[in-house]
């Protein structure tokens, strides 16, 4: 079994941590409504119970994080694994299942970019190509072929 990488743990943590914006500024929706509005599923990630419990002890089962996108808007849905696996209509129709964010609301919540101290410099030039070695010189680390012993034909 593969081990869960730090990236997955980071994704779970970020998906479960509260956002600085208030609940009034976040839009919640059901998975079913998002798909009806044209959102496309971009990824589905299984979060094993032991990993999910590192974030909150309330979790009782494996979970799935589903990310969706529609133009400039993204949505993240946090679903119990069994509800996702069996496409439980009641769960997928829950109006609080997914959190939706659009680029416009994210721009207003994001801190301004840091001013640059110096103008952008040109990228460094690539290193010069290595000079080709002489064809009669063997590559480094390989033995030089020797002449056959006397009295034998090559």
DSSP state of 9: H
**Nearest CA to 75 among 46, 54, 96, 49?**
96
**What is the structure's pLDDT at 56?**
86
Beta strands across the sheet bearing 40-47: 27-29, 98-102, 73-80, 63-70, 40-47
Query: b or e along 9-30 (b: 16 or more beta carbons within 10 Å of the residue's beta carbon)?
Result: eebbeebbeeeeeeeeeeeebb
Evaluate whether 57 touches 127 at the Cβ level (below 8 Å): no
CA distance 16 to 80: 14
Q: Is the pLDDT of residue 111 over 90?
A: no
pTM for the full predicted model: 0.52
**What is the structure's pLDDT at 55?**
86
Highest mean pLDDT among 41-45, 56-60, 69-73, 130-134: 41-45
Which H or E element spans position 90?
A: helix 89-92
**Nearest CA to 43 among 65, 17, 61, 62?**
65
Q: Which residues contact 95 (CB under 8 A, 6 or more apart)?
A: 28, 29, 30, 33
Helix/strand/coil for 66: strand
């Amino acid at each position: 079994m593969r081990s869960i990488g730090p990236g997955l743990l980071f994704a779970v943590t970020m998906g479960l941590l509260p956002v600085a914006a208030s609940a009034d500024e976040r839009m919640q929706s059901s998975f079913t409504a998002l798909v009806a509005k044209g959102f496309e599923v971009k990824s589905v990630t299984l979060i094993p119970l032991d990993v999910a419990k590192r974030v909150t002890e309330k979790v009782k089962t494996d979970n799935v994080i589903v990310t969706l996108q529609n133009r400039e808007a993204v949505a993240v849905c946090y679903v119990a694994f069994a509800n996702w696996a069996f496409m439980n209509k009641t769960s997928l129709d829950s109006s609080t299942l997914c959190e939706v964010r659009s680029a416009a609301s994210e721009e207003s919540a994001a801190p301004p970019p840091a001013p640059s101290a110096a103008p952008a410099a040109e990228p460094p030039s690539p290193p010069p190509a290595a000079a080709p070695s002489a064809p009669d010189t063997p590559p480094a680390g390989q033995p030089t072929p020797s002449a056959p012993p006397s009295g034998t034909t090559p």
